[in-house]
Copies of this chain bind each other. A is one copy, B any other.
Amino acid sequence: MIDRIADIVGAKNVLTGPDLAPYSVDISGMRRAVPLAVARPASTQEVSDLVRLANELRLPVLPVGGRTGLTGGGVGEGALILSFDRMNAIRAIRPEARVAEVEAGAILSDIHDAAEAHDLVFPLTFGARGSARVGGFLGTNAGGSNVLRYGNTRDLVLGIEAVLPTGEIVDLMSGLHKNNSGYDLRHLLIGSEGTLGVITAATLKLMPKPGAYATAMVGMKSMSDALPLLNEVQKATGGLVEAFEYMPDSYVGNYLQLSPSHRLPFEDRHPVNILIEIGALAPRDCIPGDDGAIPVVSYLEDLLGRYLENGLIDDAVVARTEAQRREMWARREAASEIAGLQPVRVTNDVAVPLDLVETFLTRADATLQRVDPGATTSVVAHLGDGNVHYTVWPVTTTEAGKDAIVEAIEDIVIDLGGSFSAEHGIGTIKLGSMARRKDPAALSAMRAIKRALDPNGIMNPGKLLPPSNL
């Protein structure tokens, strides 16, 4: 079997035995499973050959990117792992058409750099951008900090190429903005977490690079003071807010714990800390002030000054240099590191309507103390999307206890009209939630689609779709 894999990709591109160690645990360190082998294909044809072989032999196939996913998707017992590190080309940047053609193994930050060289941006971004690869962020329909302005991954993809579970290659690499020709297999594969096929390449949308950023940290007493700020800036700028991130004081405390030498945003501590970033195109870098149009940084300074005077906020710092801006972002992007301060976490990646985030947090904190007294949290939110990462450091050590926390948080989310799975996907850790919370007719349609496209069930079994007995 290994020989036949080696025949396709070459012996030196097949990992087995001790080389499988890094592939046998996921990024959280909490989930382990030993694969059969890792194959490193160099072309779509090799991927096709590998999948065809796996389908013949009924081998489970797990395509992986940077393995930075947070829901247990990165490991698979007995699986043939397809690693895309050799298929990492940025095939083309077409600035006129504002598209990038990339292979599944291209790294997000490399795409950022390639686009910037043409004064364009690929606006998807999150902490793991230096490792995350195309196949991974398409497979999970990754979100991140700029969804508020630019949408999720799927909103940034014009076309894909993929290998179906039969080994057939589908070429849907359109760069066109209008292309209505049958069911949208692109959107079906995006977010399917490798359970319906293997994405091998994509055509991505690029956007004009903002010529000026205005970035600030704002301290205030309660979250109900934050939304009016967001709404006013959105209105004044016509929707140019790129990020609106929430960090409670406990997050700031945790950040200090990570390293006591870290600089804090303010001298005083505040219950609510907001990172706001506006991205203005240079020519549009004019927002009506009292004396006519003013640059976006001055606009934000004036606005926050006014809010301070009126007591609507308690503190504010606007970044004056790129280094200051990066420092603000580093604080926000330490979230996974902070969550990792405790070896055992119960993660809850949820979304609620924007104006109910505060309600959610109040109820979640109270509920948590009832379900698992003494548990602590690391909370951070893409507030502009209503997306809260409510990470619990539990006292309970039993699986049942941890499940009870998840269920209790979900109860609140569902009650508030929210989603139990916002941007990280289902993987293995949310299978119970899918079984409990997803519309049953939708679930059965998903299962029917899975059976239709992957009759032998070889594609990433055990992920995304809960077993029917759950």
Contact = CB atoms under 8 A, between A and B. Distances in A.
Contacts of A255: none
Contacts of A178: 143, 147, 152, 351, 382, 385-387, 419, 422-423
Given A168-B444, A180-B191, 5 more contacts: A168-B445, A179-B351, A180-B425, A182-B426, A292-B293
Contacts of A421: 179-181
A367 interface: no
Interface string A374-389: 0000000010011100
Given A283-B235, A286-B286, A446 B182 contact: yes
A176 B351 contact: yes
B283 A181 contact: no
A434 interface: yes
Chain A: interface size category: 35 or more
A424 B354 CA distance: 35
Given A293-B286, A353-B175, A182 B281 contact: no
Contacts of A425: 180
A449 interface: yes
Given A178-B143, A283-B238, A422-B179, A185 B446 contact: yes
Given A208-B238, A452-B448, A192 B187 contact: no
10 contacts: A178-B423, A180-B426, A182-B434, A182-B464, A184-B188, A185-B446, A239-B281, A284-B287, A445-B453, A452-B452
A334 to B, nearest CB: 21
Interface stretch (A6-14, A267-275, A391-399, A435-443): A435-443
Contacts of A284: 237-238, 284, 287
Contacts of A355: 96-97
A237 B196 CA distance: 41
B439 A176 contact: no
A182 B448 contact: no
